Structure 1
Amino acid sequence: MPQMKRGILFANTSDLPPPSAVQEKLGRFHVPWTRTIFLPLPGLNRRLRVIVPNVALLRGGRRRGPLLVSLACIALVCTVVIMSRGFGGAGWGNSGWNEQWNQDQNREPSTLVFRREELKKIWKWEIESGHFPSSKSIPRQIGLSLPLENPAIPPQQKTSTQSTYYPWHTSRGAGGAVRVAVEEPAGLETIGIGPKRVYLDIQNSPPDVAYPPRPIPGSVADMDIVMKYCDFSKEKYVRDCLEVLRLGGGLDNGQRVRRGSTDDWKYIYVEQPDGASTSPDRSRSDASHDQQAPVQITEPAGADPDLGLIKKKAAEWETDITLPPTLQHHPASTLPTPCDPENPRVYHMFWTGPFTDKPYLAILSFLFTQNTGIHFQDAAHEMSNVCRPQFWMWINPGPAASVPNPNALRDMYNGLKASPWAAPFLHPRFKDVVQFKLWNTTEQLDGIPEIKDEWRALQDALFNSGGHIISVKKKAVSSSNTSDSTSTSSKASDEDDILNRAGSKSSSSYDRLSVILSDMARFVLCHRFGGIYLDADTILLRDWEEMWGWKGAFAYRWSRLPKYNTAVLRMNKGSALGTFLFRTALKNGLDFHPMTVSNYVKDAYLEDLLLRLPDALFDSAWLNTEYYQRDRPPQPYFTEFADFFDTPVVNSAAPQALGFNGFFKGAYSYHFHNFWWKPFDPARNWPDLGPRFIAGEMAAREALEAADAINNSKNLTTEPGSSSPETSDRVDDDKRDLDWSIVLKRTFEAYIRGERPNMYGEWIRW
């Protein structure tokens, strides 16, 4: 019988001889070559079956010894391979040594063009400017010998005493030069000199608990705590992360189920003004020892100052990096105005082609969730202590490779006025919070000091995505030689050509150039103007006040991979990190694909300056769509992104029953990953915003009816233009089980119509 020992199941582990002479002989002559053990998997109610060599065979004589040792080594290697593959299939995938081993085996060519001294300057600038509000250590590879003062974190109870990073130094002996390994120190922690923090218990007092409270102006999210409970690489579930996010953010106000003490889940804080004092909080799990004086260790004699850094092949080192003066970090309560001019609250979004329901819904979600002040008649007076965010929709007027004409700005506004989906946001009520901007690639790149004098050398290869370049110049010449006799017949095919696409009309006619251009545009916009960039397939789900309060840069994790997804990107205006990224991109073909950007910061050991937040915050369904964490999925449970638009029948009662509050509650946004050609609400595929915007609604309905008549997709009972909302809406024409995309669209529209409040219980005021 197998035996249980300390939770591990062993097969025949006893070293005692069998109980009889017969069995002893059988044991001597029929001993199995291998035996099986079962190892418990942490966090899972399963055991891993591992086949290992039978050690008893090693006592079988001299001749067997070498053979059995060899077989044992082979079995051990096979076991390691099987375990690494097994964990990557449906479990955690990239964690611990397995993740690091995979990274080392698949290392890409280096993109680094900065020396160690320049990387030190970048780290110093960002820390001294208050852009590193974290207790994480500075990587040892940066080579700092003394810790830096950090104004964005409070005085801590400890600091490390580390030295400059030298993986080895060279010494000479009788046999010539020999590399001698030097012990690699751990990272260097910063010394907190910033204001004290007070962590908040956010919830309304009864009986006003029907809706959650707005975040306190100037509050900040502690990303160290968020990472503690949400980091996928530390085997944290999206479901658990969302619970921490909604409870710590007060989003479950009035619906909170009693638990034990959840003080450790408080991740939102306010900074106390200078001069205030609080006793050190040693009850938290991250409390540690008292500070110690740092000790500097001198570098080995004759060591190369850039030793250990891998420079990009055939590239010259960047020298004498030029950075602006460092910024000053101040608590929000000490600023003269609610809005920090060094930290503008602007959401950027980039759009090419006809305005559709996709950017329409993104703007509606902004109005439904953010503290814009449209719930006050006089927002400037009522919100004197609040910084109102703005939404800047950047419109690329034509195909990504085209050059705007001189009348592009006028044409853009004419097109917006004529668009049923865009025209509502030109209403004076939204003029302070929603703005449309004209995108001009040449103007924007000329506005980046780091590359304005050099980018034109790459203009023929400007559309670079992950090293794959689409040559615009070559294809443009070939398309211009089309004769007049064939121009009419080829008009449709020309519009579908990759150079002439303006928006993605279907999965087969994807506007790849606009996607590549947007990869670059997000970095340009954030570096020039500051703020947060959002992909147009993003829906905001809660107020981002505390995200604005956190002054560092961030994107989020690419699902199971330790890479960035820049569908959400926060960068500070004119930062040292931005300078690094643009100079590095220039030396790498202006490639801003998120995978390439991941290499930029990884090769330079700057990943902690562009924090890779868990995708649970912005993309909660992604892991489930890639077969991860399906044993404990979040709500709703999507096995593919199409479930948002076509909710499976078995789950189709949830959208109507739960509504907006049941959709990934706790997450800051949802990313539905493209589907540009699929309407949110097929049965009511028009802007349904009430009498104020009835002209746009009727225009959209007439266009749909005309398209239906042409396609013979249904029998018309009325002539185009003769219908009205009162006579044409029938419940029988609607879908019986509403999908999630339908419920969210109709919820946001009901707020604009004045039929319901927003998610915080505030009613729009006209």
Structure 2
Amino acid sequence: MVFSRGSSRQWGENWPPSTADTSTLVFRREDLQRIWRWEIASTLSELVGVVVPKQVGLKTPPVNPALPYQGASKPSRNRFPLEEQDTETYGLGPKRVYLDIQSTYPNVAYPPRPVPGSVADMDIIMKHCNFSTGKYVRDCLEVLRIGGGLDNGRRFRRGNTDDWKYIYQELNSTELEYDFTPDISPVTPPRPPPGLEVDADAGLAKKRGAEWETQVVLPPTLKHRPSVALKSPCDPENPRVYHMFWTGPFTDKPYLALLSFLFTQNTGLHLREFLADNVCRPEFWMWINPGPAASVPNPSAKHDMFQQLKSSPWASPFLHPRFQDVIKFKLWNTTEQLDGVPEIKDEWRSFKTLFNSGGHVISVPAEKKETTTAAAASESDSGAAGTAAKKADDEDLLNRTGSKSSASYDRLSVILSDMARFILCHRFGGIYLDADTIFLRDWEELWGWKGAFAYRWSRLEKYNTAVLRMHKGSALGTFLFRTALKNGLDFHPMTVSLYTADAFVEPLLLRLPDALFDSAWLNTENFQRDRPPQPYFTEFAEFFDTPAQNSAAPQALGFDGFFKGAYSYHFHNFCPRTYASDDRWKPFDPTRNWPDLGPKFKAGEDVVRTALEAEAAKELPNVITTANPKVTTDKETEKATRPATEKDVDAVENDKRDLDWSAVLKRTFEAYIRGERPNMYGEWLQW
């Protein structure tokens, strides 16, 4: 199991500003200019408000083909040289039409699907959701609901909400053709006075002890094409692929992520035959690391992976032929993946270890050595025991496959996943999601926005890469991998925040408000508790253990009452313990802790139920003895220790009276697969 970032409140609290001693920068100014021009010319920066920092030193305003044509403006008399001020981009793109998305009679019970090819205006989203300008998550979610048409039949606002329209379509602008190829030739600095040499990289703090990167080589720029100008709904330069990384036995955590994907995204499963000419169907690629993070897959790893998936009750339902076009399991091979990144393929093997997280390096020995010296043989018993215990801990760390509890945290897999998300996005394009993510709505308009993004680390102006969107082979990706190579291959989000800040390229990786993907985070850190969103969590554990005073909401409101408007929910793997006596993670639905998907998948359900009954039979005698030693009669003991039968479990009086949010979401998604309800857009699954 892979854990997400963000559960620690102290990390990065006092992150020092970069100086000559701490800087991570390895690119010269002329290369930073090339990177900026490439990204803008490839329409990967669609923000109207984006400016190129003056430290980059551009001489001319870059042409931005993703922004609407702005026309010529009379220059100000009080102008400064461009290299002495931030530079705005110049829009020459198609016009935009902002959409009023509402359900129409008689289909008002469910919200409408987003318009294919629509785009989210991140400037408007930032205007209403930016924590730095005092915006509340509660208000942000209302704007996202109304502007996205998710308030079907429940619109209470009577005033003009045009300012809340954040989804638009681009008009086809085929009449005019512009040459958007950027001028990537080095910018000639002004001639210095006689006898005075000017450093072209003055003002940039290079990483101490590192050499400047050789001149960066970038691929041809991409061409901006509005969706209406494409020959098919899918843009071949922007594949719609969700990536997720998983290590260890398949559990209810990735199971729920996949169910939420099917429940919310436009997969076309409500149609007998998918019409590829109408909608761009997204795919979900689940990357499975078959062994410990430090191991090398064996030749039969792929075959073994599918055998394990077939035998897993939590994974096998997604191997059904009905899902084969939208859910795909992929084998993760670290060597193969690193060799597939051109920027580092010839140099990554020079590292003694790949496990570097925020400067904390975990060494992995190349081979195990046996100690047979006489000195070792003559160690004292206590010293030998201490050495053996440390060795056992180290061995356990290297051999963990996923995290079954807080006590057996698989740190290596977490660090590997930090790097994996950047590799996958740079090699294949798409969006990476942490495995503790639940989809809450269709992401159509996020796919329509071509820029790269992650989201904000709660109140800190740093990145959280639990959601990461980058493009295949982008200049930004080249920058990140070459910079990471010179900084120990460290891809911790706080370190990535340093990379972009030191090089003045932060606007190229947009830091979206956490309200979009992590709506509870600020509340859990004691912010905005005066006006919290719905639901109100003071800690992430309340998703699994909803407080009694708030526990009427999950069943009364259901899926529609869970951070309505947000694109996803990130529960930070903050699962409370199942039992007081151990550290096991609590399941989403303790009462029905199995894949409850109906007759089609009954075999897997029976396997889990049988295992749970056997486990209960072993544990109950110990519970009885500990909790009530006076219970001695055979009749009472037999009644107390008898495993619950299927009839007992299915009796409604034996269900938990107040269901937690985690259980309600799980049961909602499962009801869709069973055919008992439609998905969130009113579409019924067709088998």
Change beyond 3 A, Cα 1:465–1:102 = closer
Tell me the equivalent position of 1:751.
Answer: 672
Change beyond 3 A, Cα 1:164–1:540 = farther
Q: Which of 49, 52, 58 is residue 144 of structure 1 equivalent to?
A: 58
Tell me the equivalent position of 1:45.
Answer: none
Deviation at 1:221, TM superposition (A): 0.2
Deviation at 1:319, TM superposition (A): 1.9
Q: Which of 501, 514, 517 is residue 615 of structure 1 equivalent to?
A: 514
Tell me the equivalent position of 2:439.
Answer: 540
Contact 1:144 1:163 in 2 (8 A): no
Tell me the equivalent position of 2:607.
Answer: 699
Tell me the equivalent position of 2:595.
Answer: 687
Deviates more, 1:363-372 or 1:489-498: 489-498
Tell me the equivalent position of 1:111.
Answer: 24
1:160-179 aligned at under 5 Å gives the runs none
Tell me the equivalent position of 1:65.
Answer: none
Does 1:408 pair with 2:322?
no
Deviation at 1:734, TM superposition (A): 1.2
Change beyond 3 A, Cα 1:139–1:477 = farther
Contact 2:124 2:166 in 1 (8 A): yes
Tell me the equivalent position of 2:362.
Answer: 470
Change beyond 3 A, Cα 1:256–1:491 = same
Unmatched 5+ stretches in structure 2: 1-11, 177-187, 378-384, 576-584, 625-636
Contact 1:705 1:720 in 2 (8 A): no
Change beyond 3 A, Cα 1:210–1:106 = farther
Q: Which of 265, 271, 290 is residue 376 of structure 1 equivalent to?
A: 271
Change beyond 3 A, Cα 1:164–1:730 = farther
Which structure has more relative contact order (CA 8 Å, sep 6+)? It is 2
SS for the counterpart of 2:104 is: coil
Q: Which of 307, 313, 329 is residue 208 of structure 2 equivalent to?
A: 313
2:594 partner amino acid: W
2:567 partner amino acid: Y
Partner Cα distance (1:716, 1:616) in 2: 51
SS for the counterpart of 1:313 is: coil
RMSD of equivalent CA atoms:
3.0
Deviates more, 1:199-208 or 1:430-439: 199-208
Q: Which of 652, 669, 683 is residue 551 of structure 2 equivalent to?
A: 652
2:683 partner amino acid: E
Partner Cα distance (1:650, 1:197) in 2: 47
Change beyond 3 A, Cα 1:102–1:684 = closer
Deviation at 1:207, TM superposition (A): 2.7
Partner Cα distance (1:126, 1:332) in 2: 19
Tell me the equivalent position of 1:212.
Answer: 111
1:372-521 aligned at under 5 Å gives the runs 372-379=267-274, 381=275, 383-458=276-351, 460-473=352-365, 477=369, 497-521=396-420
Deviation at 1:320, TM superposition (A): 1.3
Change beyond 3 A, Cα 1:478–1:741 = farther
Partner Cα distance (2:189, 2:96) in 1: 33
1:39-438 aligned at under 5 Å gives the runs 109-135=22-48, 136-156=50-70, 184-185=84-85, 187-275=86-174, 301=193, 302-379=197-274, 381=275, 383-438=276-331
Partner Cα distance (1:632, 1:748) in 2: 29
Partner Cα distance (1:527, 1:241) in 2: 31
SS for the counterpart of 1:539 is: strand
SS for the counterpart of 1:118 is: helix
Tell me the equivalent position of 1:4.
Answer: none
Change beyond 3 A, Cα 1:683–1:478 = farther
SS for the counterpart of 1:193 is: strand
Partner Cα distance (1:620, 1:120) in 2: 36
Report the TM-score when normalising by structure 2: 0.86
Contact 1:362 1:537 in 2 (8 A): yes
Partner Cα distance (1:101, 1:403) in 2: 37
Partner Cα distance (1:716, 1:323) in 2: 73
Change beyond 3 A, Cα 1:117–1:639 = same
Deviation at 1:206, TM superposition (A): 2.2
Unmatched 5+ stretches in structure 1: 1-98, 167-183, 278-295
SS for the counterpart of 1:113 is: coil
Contact 2:616 2:643 in 1 (8 A): no
Does 1:739 pair with 2:660?
yes
1:118 partner amino acid: D
Deviation at 1:384, TM superposition (A): 1.9
Partner Cα distance (2:277, 2:598) in 1: 31
SS for the counterpart of 1:350 is: strand
Contact 1:404 1:440 in 2 (8 A): yes
Residues 589-637 of structure 1: per-residue CA shift (max 9 Å, x gap): 0000000000000100110000000000000000000011111111100
Deviation at 1:711, TM superposition (A): 2.3
Residues 3-57 of structure 1: per-residue CA shift (max 9 Å, x gap): xxxxxxxxxxxxxxxxxxxxxxxxxxxxxxxxxxxxxxxxxxxxxxxxxxxxxxx
1:557-576 aligned at under 5 Å gives the runs 557-576=456-475
1:700-715 aligned at under 5 Å gives the runs 700-712=608-620
Tell me the equivalent position of 2:686.
Answer: 765
Contact 1:215 1:543 in 2 (8 A): yes
Partner Cα distance (2:30, 2:437) in 1: 39
Deviation at 1:306, TM superposition (A): 0.7
Partner Cα distance (1:588, 1:105) in 2: 14
Deviation at 1:303, TM superposition (A): 2.7
Contact 1:472 1:499 in 2 (8 A): yes
Residues 169-212 of structure 1: per-residue CA shift (max 9 Å, x gap): xxxxxxxxxxxxxxx42x11111111110000001212321110
Deviation at 1:573, TM superposition (A): 0.5
1:341 partner amino acid: P
Contact 2:20 2:208 in 1 (8 A): no
Tell me the equivalent position of 2:452.
Answer: 553
Report the TM-score when normalising by structure 1: 0.77
Change beyond 3 A, Cα 1:522–1:547 = same
Residues 457-497 of structure 1: per-residue CA shift (max 9 Å, x gap): 01x221000011000117955799999xx9xx999967981
Change beyond 3 A, Cα 1:103–1:154 = farther
Change beyond 3 A, Cα 1:256–1:392 = same
Deviation at 1:134, TM superposition (A): 1.2
Tell me the equivalent position of 2:4.
Answer: none
Tell me the equivalent position of 1:14.
Answer: none
Deviation at 1:341, TM superposition (A): 1.1
Partner Cα distance (1:532, 1:119) in 2: 25
Tell me the equivalent position of 1:63.
Answer: none
Partner Cα distance (1:100, 1:705) in 2: 46
Deviation at 1:304, TM superposition (A): 1.6
Contact 1:164 1:298 in 2 (8 A): no
Deviation at 1:354, TM superposition (A): 0.2
Partner Cα distance (1:680, 1:456) in 2: 41
Residues 154-175 of structure 1: per-residue CA shift (max 9 Å, x gap): 1125677876666xxxxxxxxx
SS for the counterpart of 1:611 is: strand
Change beyond 3 A, Cα 1:299–1:262 = farther
Partner Cα distance (1:297, 1:440) in 2: 46
SS for the counterpart of 2:169 is: strand
Contact 1:559 1:622 in 2 (8 A): yes
